[in-house]
Amino acid sequence: MKPIAMITGATSGIGEACARRFLQAGYRVIATGRNVAKLNALKDEFGADLYPLVFDVRDRQVAETSVASLPAAWSEIDVLVNNAGLALGLDPEYQGDYSDWDTMIDTNIKGILTMIRTVVPGMVARNRGHVINIGSVAGDAAYANGNVYCATKAAVKSITDGLRIDVAHTELRVTLLKPGLVETNFSNVRFHGDDERANNVYKGITPLTGDDIADAAIYAAQAPKHVQIAEMLILATHQANGSTIVRKN
């Protein structure tokens, strides 16, 4: 039987790339997200090896109910990729939008915790499994106007490190991937649909793609069982950290 990977936020960007990469590597994939049409399109494309599950990680009750509803053939999850996350706004902290803050905290922190609490007990009971959390270089150090988003990604690192400690007595593995500049719809979401402002983020540099991060995720998942890729920082060639980017004309 093929192993099963559950990927949150699988309808675009890094999440969709991870879904495709794990399917290519011989996994069955539970693809979760809020976009019903996109999940159905993925199901039409990949058929029996993809199981669409529609829910928002911010809604704990629905997330738990959705996972509990999985048929027996899909219930033993081998890899959980906690990808669902976002940035909203790029304002000074003292001018930040409360709604943006709530959405980032509820998605980036509480959403990951909900999925861990929902899926990992089964992994522990079976004494096998792998949790891959998508963090960010932004979690290493705050950058100008990144404040709350950076804080949420710093929390993802602590959550990941804490889980790794808590399951160290088992065969489970826990990985944190920390991408830098990745060209997806991330910036478009951050700027609330302002395409021009979003495109400027990637000017003068060749950014990473969702496929680059998906390659890192599958590398960690397919490492020998005695090898735990605890953390991986993935940057574009001309990006040194969260705030140092050398742009070419």
Q: How confident is the model at residue 26 (pLDDT cuts 50, 70, 90)?
A: very high
pLDDT at 198 over 80: no
Query: Which tens digits make up the pLDDT trace of 116-130?
Result: 999 999 999 999 999
Determine how many CB atoms are found less than 10 A away from the CB of residue 78: 17
Residue numbers of the domain that contains 154: 4-234
Catalogue the active-site residues: 149
**Which CATH number covers residue 108?**
3.40.50.720
Please tell me the pTM assigned to this model. Answer: 0.95
How many folded domains does the chain comprise? 1
Does residue 18 sit within a domain? Answer: yes
Does residue 177 sit within a domain? Answer: yes
Query: Which tens digits make up the pLDDT trace of 211-244?
Result: 999 999 999 999 999 999 999 999 999 999 999 9
Please state, in angstroms and rounded to a whole number, the distance separating the CA atoms of residues 2 and 175.
21
Does residue 243 sit within a domain? Answer: no
Q: How confident is the model at residue 165 (pLDDT cuts 50, 70, 90)?
A: very high
Does residue 249 sit within a domain? Answer: no
Q: How confident is the model at residue 5 (pLDDT cuts 50, 70, 90)?
A: very high
Report CA dihedral (157, 160, 162, 163) to the nearest 10 degrees: 170
Does residue 248 sit within a domain? Answer: no
Query: Which tens digits make up the pLDDT trace of 88-98?
Result: 999 999 999 99
The crossing angle, in degrees rounded to 10, of helices 147-166 and 112-126 is 10
Does residue 242 sit within a domain? Answer: no
- Token digits for 61? 């009750």
Please state, in angstroms and rounded to a whole number, the distance separating the CA atoms of residues 107 and 94.
22
Query: Which tens digits make up the pLDDT trace of 31-83?
Result: 999 999 999 999 999 999 999 999 999 999 999 999 999 999 999 999 999 99
Helices (H), 57-171: 60-68, 98-104, 112-126, 147-166
Please check whether residue 81 is in contact with residue 9, taking contact to mean a CB–CB distance below 8 angstroms: no
pLDDT at 173: 98
pLDDT at 190: 86
Does residue 220 sit within a domain? Answer: yes
pLDDT at 188: 80
- Token digits for 224? 């020998």
Does residue 245 sit within a domain? Answer: no
